[in-house]
């Protein structure tokens, strides 16, 4: 058997061993996913939103320009596909495993930090008026002038999560990791570069 094939470490030959060796990392990822799920269902901080602030918060309530389901596809699935393509050429299960692990850590840590800040800051979205008052009739506390929302609670809850952007942070985490990963593979920071042998 050629030496190149003997030195290859594939998912079939080494996959279970690598996964067992890094079980604690996968458990930490699971914990991060649970924390992020909890952060997405708890009630965020309700910042004071007075009647005089509604001018800036009365943009029409529309669907997201980029739907939320598209973000994991771009930030997680696309990098995984490219890492998988590299694996098929190199057959290095250690590189594949560590790349997937690094990608998921990058995205989940970013997600937890982003959602924790969203919940803590409670900044209203620009369409908050229509989330709060779907009938277009504003109700305000006569003493504090704070809003008395009449809309759907889940829609209002999302209305308090304007900052920071989840779409941006997820995309930056996933695609940023992919950029560093690919930079390492093509030896961007090596002065000789990957293409020297072909010149």
Q: What is the pLDDT of residues 63-113, one digit of tens each?
A: 888 888 899 999 999 999 999 998 888 877 888 888 999 999 999 999 999
Give the per-residue pLDDT at 193: 56
Q: What are phi and psi of 135, to 5 degrees?
A: -85, -5
Q: Distance between CA atoms of 4 and 1, rounded to whole angstroms?
A: 8
Quick one: DSSP state of residue 9? B
Q: Residues 133-157: pLDDT tens digits?
A: 888 888 888 888 888 988 899 898 9
Q: Residues 3-50: pLDDT tens digits?
A: 344 346 655 555 566 667 778 989 999 999 999 999 999 999 988 888
Give the per-residue pLDDT at 194: 56
Does the pTM exceed 0.85? no
Q: What is residue 146's three-state secondary structure?
A: strand
Q: Distance between CA atoms of 74 and 166, rounded to whole angstroms?
A: 13
Which residues, in sequence order, are bridge partners of residue 50? 146
Q: Which two tokens stand for residue 174?
A: 């996933």
> From the CB of residue 150, how many other CB atoms can be counted at a distance below 10 Å?
13
Domain limits, the chain:
9-187
Quick one: DSSP state of residue 190? S
């Amino acid at each position: 058997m050629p030496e190149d094939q003997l030195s290859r470490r594939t998912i079939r030959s080494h996959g279970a061993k690598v996964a067992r060796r890094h079980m604690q990392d996968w458990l930490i990822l699971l914990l991060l996913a649970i924390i992020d799920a909890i952060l997405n269902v708890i009630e965020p901080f309700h910042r004071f939103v007075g009647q005089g602030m509604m001018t800036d918060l009365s943009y029409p309530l529309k669907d997201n320009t980029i739907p939320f389901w598209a973000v994991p596809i771009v930030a997680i699935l696309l990098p995984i596909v490219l890492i998988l393509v590299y694996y098929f050429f190199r057959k290095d299960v250690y590189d594949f495993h560590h790349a997937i692990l690094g990608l998921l850590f990058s995205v989940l840590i970013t997600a937890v930090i982003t959602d924790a800040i969203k919940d803590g800051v409670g900044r209203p979205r620009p369409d908050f008026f229509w989330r709060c008052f779907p009938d277009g009739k504003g109700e305000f506390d006569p003493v504090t002038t704070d809003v008395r929302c009449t809309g759907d609670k889940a829609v209002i809850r999302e209305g308090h999560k304007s900052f920071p952007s989840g779409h941006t942070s997820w995309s930056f985490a996933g695609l940023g990791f992919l950029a560093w990963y690919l930079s390492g593979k093509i030896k961007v920071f090596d002065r000789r570069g990957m293409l020297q042998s072909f010149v």
